[in-house]
Amino acid sequence: MTTDLDALYQEIILDHYKNPHHQGLREPFEAEVHHVNPTCGDEVTLRVHLADGPAGRLVEDVSYDALGCSISQASASVLTDLVIGKPVDEAMGIHDEFLALMQGKGKVEPDEEVLEDGIAFAGVAKFPARIKCALLSWMAWKDATLSAVEPVETQMEEAQ
């Protein structure tokens, strides 16, 4: 029998929770952020390392140290799988897609082509109290990436 609970705790989520990918804080990095969910105390320290690729800036590495529930831990793991190696613009697009899924009240059909393991979080959208858990590391990643991108652009503007 599939229940709402099983929809929330998909095997993929529990697998990522037990064996998180890309865990730990690594060098080098251009930006580091610390995000907290003030209602529950979950926290994540997240670093972003960008590199120049043929198609523009690439997300070379995302490393993190997170404390929290299965949903927030698994979400950080899936995030790194999805964005590492992608051009920044494409990664931001994946972020937007994940955010839309989380805010879709369970009515958004996830695109597996884009979100891969991230589609397992579709059930979370039906648990309002848990959406913030799933979004914690994504918000941290966006914040860090924007501040890693900005100084470069500012420097370029100054050079022009």
Partner 1 sequence: MEGLLPDLEIVRKDFPILSRVLTGADGDGRPLVYLDSANTSQKPQVVIDTMVDHLERHNANIARAMHQLGAESTAAYEDARDKVAAFLGAPDRDEVIFLKNATEALNLVANTLAWPGERQVGAGDEVVITEMEHHSNIVPWQLLCERTGATLRWFGLTEDGQLDLSDVDRLITERTKVVSLVWVSNMLGTINPIGEIARRAHEVGAVVVVDASQAAPQLPIDLAAMPEKERPDLLAFTGHKVVGPTGIGVLWGRRAVLDQLPPFLGGGEMIETVTMEKSTYAPLPHKFEAGTPPIVEAVGLGAAVDYLSVLGMANVHRHEQTITAYALEGLRSVSGLTVLGPTDATERGGAISFEIPGVHPHDVATVLDTRGIAVRAGHHCAKPAHARFGVQSSTRMSSYLYTTPAEIDALVDGLEYTRQYFKLS
Number of residues in contact with partner 1 under rule CB under 8 A: 24
Q: Smaller CB distance to partner 1: residue 51 or 67?
A: 67
Answer for the pair 123, 133: CB distance below 8 angstroms, yes or no: no
How many residues are there in the chain? 160
Among 130, 135, 141, 145, binds partner 1 (CB under 8 A): 130
Q: Does 160 bind partner 1 (CB under 8 A)?
A: no
Query: What is the C-alpha separation between 40 and 12, in angstroms, rounded?
Result: 24
Restricted to residues 46-105, the positions that interact with partner 1 (CB under 8 A) are 67-73
Mark residues 5-24: x for contact with partner 1 by CB under 8 A, - for none: xx-xx----x----------
In the sheet that holds 56-67, the strands lie side by side as 31-36, 43-53, 56-67
Report in angstroms how near the CB of residue 80 gets to partner 1 at its nearest. 20
Q: How far is CA 45 from the centre of its chain?
A: 12
Q: Give phi and psi for 34, each to the nearest 5.
A: -125, 115
Residues that bind partner 1 (CB under 8 A): 1, 3-6, 8-9, 14, 39-43, 67-73, 127, 129-130, 133
